[in-house]
A and B are shown apart, each in its own frame.
Chain A
Amino acid sequence: SAVISQKPSRDICQRGTSLTIQCQVDSQVTMMFWYRQQPGQSLTLIATANQGSEATYESGFVIDKFPISRPNLTFSTLTVSNMSPEDSSIYLCSAIGQGEAFFGQGTRLTVV
């Protein structure tokens, strides 16, 4: 199994600013994923992050708004740029190991 450390666990940010969320995996993984989740709702995939290449974004999500870095096989960051109140949500990172998905603890973002 893989253990994923995600930080910050929560933050309150001013609109127009940016926040970078970090995820560290305790083992090397090929693919990492970033999700957004409204409280009580399902997970919406933002993008897939592969090491050594640009992230692949899902429909409705763009790189300028959600830039992703994947500098090595154990680390990834997601930046939420130029934030607005609509970006308030829970952001989760995930990695695949042994055929199953492992998740970070999530970041609860509130934009005021």
Chain B
Amino acid sequence: AQTVTQSQPEMSVQEAETVTLSCTYDTSESDYYLFWYKQPPSRQMILVIRQEAYKQQNATENRFSVNFQKAAKSFSLKISDSQLGDAAMYFCAYRYWRTNFNKFYFGSGTKLNVKP
């Protein structure tokens, strides 16, 4: 079974500053997807960013970027210019590449607090 590990249960960042959330995973596959999802208090899970393992270039989405280290099986999320609305639970997730195997594996989550 695949495992996804988030070692930081909770983190805090000052508004406008940068924070990095860590994620490691275990897999024997060479092709897969990685995701970061955000879950605010409203409970609605929202995709923040995704990365295909075959792509060497790190994904970016506005203030969100990842540091994908395939050999180290590491997938960290960097949030720049943090905003109050970034406060949420963040889940790292893994999915197989195979189209007939769509199960997602989620980490335990990191609660991000943003201080004004």
Which A residues lie at the B interface, using CB under 8 A? 30-31, 33, 40-43, 45, 48, 90, 92, 94, 96, 99-103, 105-106, 108
Contacts A100-B35, A101-B93, A103-B45; is A41 near B109 (CB within 8 Å)? yes
CB pair A42 B108 closer than 8 Å: yes
A106 touches B44 (CB 8 A): yes
**23 contacts across the A-B interface (CB closer than 8 A):** A33-B104, A40-B111, A41-B108, A42-B91, A42-B107, A42-B108, A43-B91, A45-B104, A48-B103, A92-B45, A94-B45, A94-B104, A96-B102, A99-B33, A99-B95, A100-B35, A101-B35, A101-B45, A101-B93, A103-B45, A105-B43, A105-B44, A108-B43
Interface residues of B in 80-110 (CB under 8 A from A): 89, 91, 93, 95, 102-104, 106-109
Nearest Cβ on chain A to B50's Cβ, whole angstroms:
6
Q: How far is the CB of A91 from chain B (nearest CB, A)?
A: 10
Contacting pair B43 A106 (CB below 8 A): yes
Q: With A92-B45, A100-B35 given, is the CB distance from A43 to B106 under 8 Å?
A: yes
The list of the 3 closest CB pairs from A to B, nearest first, reads: A103-B45, A106-B43, A42-B108
| B28 contacts partner chain A, Cβ-Cβ < 8 Å | no
Tell me which residues across on chain B come within 8 A of A92, comparing CB atoms: 43, 45
Interface residue? B42 (CB, 8 A): yes
CA distance A100 to B42 in the complex (A): 20
Q: Is B47 a contact partner of A100 (Cβ separation < 8 A)?
A: yes
Within the assembled complex, what's the spacing in Å between the Cα atoms of A108 and B37? 20
Inside 8 A of B44's CB, which chain A residues have their CB? 103, 105-106
* Chain A nearest Cβ from B22, distance in angstroms: 15
Cα–Cα, bound, A91→B97 (Å): 26
A74 smallest CB distance to B (angstroms): 17
Given contacts A31-B102, A48-B103, contact A40 B89 (CB under 8 A): yes
